[in-house]
């Protein structure tokens, strides 16, 4: 009791050094990391992580999709483990902290408990999930998705990269097809520490973000079909201009999102114009739509308004407009007990704290389907992530690690 109720802290320098050592694997000239999932670099990173776990006395288990679990035994090993982690794969122009921080902060929790001889009642495990980024293989959050049953294992195995290599073949090639059936690994509670990947904490001058939920999202592919014509001789009233109709729909994406603040989001991130010539009226425009909100009922309303907008434009313009919803993730509220554990841990150190709804998906979203789950955010410079310029202050990373340590201890219990 005494060791935990005092301000037990992690070794922030050791955490930072581990992050910097891992970042050497796939280091880019601009200071970022390019370590795509299931590549040789990913294998090296996995091997390094496991070697660190073995040095800390952890026992490693790997499942059939390559998820890694490193276990520190508890006083009562019949209890399901308290798990903390994230992922170590990156975007092609990734940074040093996205995902990696959550895994190495979890490892630092274990190292700290070892340093102080603290024995927890329940086991503690460090998790590293396969292919969270989805930058080489789709779907994103593949390992945790297979684990919770949202993604079929055979579908995941069959996914291919741009060179037609499959997930199954690449897992076998790097030696990370484990024997355990995904989802057969018990989890008593799960925590994920992460850089915010947004600007809110930095803007508000807060150190810890308590994450009550993750925004739900719905993605669409939309195509407006008009008719190409010469930009000079064709009067405005006689045009079938796909671009002008598409632009009105795109504007409504923002209007819909603005209607449901503070958590509404609306983005058009990809646009393809045909024939993409400066003196030809566009004959077709394909574009993506991304709508997000923290409440499922509101997200449904935004969906209905989007469809109505398309129908209105179809009727007014007379053009063919096709819209297809291609992805849907409902909002993910986290478990009240895990949220409170994070809140109390931050309060212990008097860290400036605020609630932050996550706008990005994380493995925690899938794990929350099978276990009580919570997340911890720390600031990142200018809110930049998925970018080689991604940066975070060592003292903020240490603070997040301290919060993770005490949140894990609260759920795992302790014997000495």
Q: How far from the centroid of its chain's Cα atoms is residue 343's Cα?
A: 21
Tell which of 307, 329, 351 closes a domain: 329
Higher pLDDT, 329 or 334: 334
Give residue-wise pLDDT tens across range 279-289.
999 999 999 99
- How many Cβ atoms are within 10 Å of 169's Cβ, its own excluded? 14
Q: Looking at residue 91, what is its pLDDT? A: 95
Specify whether 305 is located in the same domain as 342. no
What is the number of helices (H) and of strands (E) in the chain?
13, 17
* Averaged pLDDT, 356-368: 94
Query: What are the CA-CA distances from residue 26 to residues 90, 93, 161, 348 (Å)?
Result: 9, 10, 19, 37
Give residue-wise pLDDT tens across range 140-190.
999 999 999 999 999 999 999 999 999 999 999 999 999 999 999 999 999
Helices (H), 40-99: 40-55
CB 139 within 8 A of CB 151: yes
For 92, list phi and psi in degrees, rounded to 5.
-60, -35
CATH of the domain at 199: 3.40.630.10
Under DSSP, the state recorded for 160 is B
Tell which of 329, 357, 375 closes a domain: 329
Tally the domains of the chain. 2
Tell which of 298, 329, 360 closes a domain: 329
Structural domain harbouring 369: 2-214+331-412
Specify whether 55 is located in the same domain as 158. yes
Give residue-wise pLDDT tens across range 68-126.
999 999 999 999 999 999 999 999 999 999 999 999 999 999 999 999 999 999 999 99
The two beta strands, 82-86 and 189-195, are parallel
Which residues, at least 6 apart from 19, have a Cβ–Cβ distance to it below 8 Å?
96, 97, 100, 101, 104, 397
Specify whether 133 is located in the same domain as 262. no
Q: Looking at residue 97, what is its pLDDT? A: 98
Specify whether 190 is located in the same domain as 88. yes
């Amino acid at each position: 009791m005494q060791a935990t109720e005092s301000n037990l802290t992690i070794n922030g320098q050791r955490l930072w050094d581990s992050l910097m050592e891992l970042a050497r694997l796939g280091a880019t000239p601009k200071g970022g990391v390019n370590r795509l999932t299931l590549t040789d670099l990913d294998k090296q990173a996995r091997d390094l992580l496991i070697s660190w776990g073995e040095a800390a006395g952890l026992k490693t288990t790997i499942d059939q999709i390559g998820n890694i679990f490193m276990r520190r035994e508890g006083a009562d090993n019949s209890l399901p483990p308290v798990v903390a982690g994230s992922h170590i794969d990156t975007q092609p122009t990734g940074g040093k902290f996205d995902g990696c921080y959550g895994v190495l902060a979890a490892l630092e929790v274990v190292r700290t408990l070892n340093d102080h001889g603290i024995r927890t009642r329940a086991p503690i495990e460090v998790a590293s999930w396969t292919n969270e980024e989805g930058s080489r293989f789709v779907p994103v959050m593949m390992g945790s998705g297979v684990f919770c049953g949202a993604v079929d294992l055979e579908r995941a195995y069959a996914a291919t990269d741009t060179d037609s290599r499959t997930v199954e073949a690449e897992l076998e090639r790097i030696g990370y097809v484990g024997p355990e059936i995904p989802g057969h690994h018990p989890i008593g509670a799960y925590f994920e520490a992460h850089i915010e990947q947004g600007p809110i904490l930095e803007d508000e001058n807060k150190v810890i973000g308590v994450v009550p939920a993750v925004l739900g999202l719905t993605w669409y592919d939309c195509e407006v079909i008009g008719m190409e014509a010469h930009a000079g001789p064709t009067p405005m009233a006689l045009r079938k201009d796909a671009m002008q109709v598409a632009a009105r729909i795109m504007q409504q994406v923002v209007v819909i999102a603005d209607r449901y603040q503070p958590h509404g989001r609306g983005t058009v991130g990809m646009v393809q114009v045909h024939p993409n010539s400066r003196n030809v009226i566009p004959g077709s425009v394909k574009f993506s739509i991304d709508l997000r909100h923290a409440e499922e009922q509101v997200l449904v309303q935004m969906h209905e308004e989007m469809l109505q907008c398309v129908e209105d434009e179809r009727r007014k313009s007379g053009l063919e407009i096709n819209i297809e919803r291609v992805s849907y993730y409902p909002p993910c509220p986290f478990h009240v007990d895990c949220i409170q554990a994070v809140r109390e841990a931050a309060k212990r150190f008097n860290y400036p704290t605020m609630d932050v709804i996550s706008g990005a998906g994380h493995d925690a979203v899938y794990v929350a389907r099978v276990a009580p789950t919570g997340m911890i955010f720390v600031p990142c410079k200018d809110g930049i992530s998925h970018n080689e310029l991604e940066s975070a202050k060592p003292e903020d990373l240490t603070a997040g690690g301290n919060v993770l340590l005490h949140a894990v201890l609260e759920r795992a219990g302790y014997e000495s």
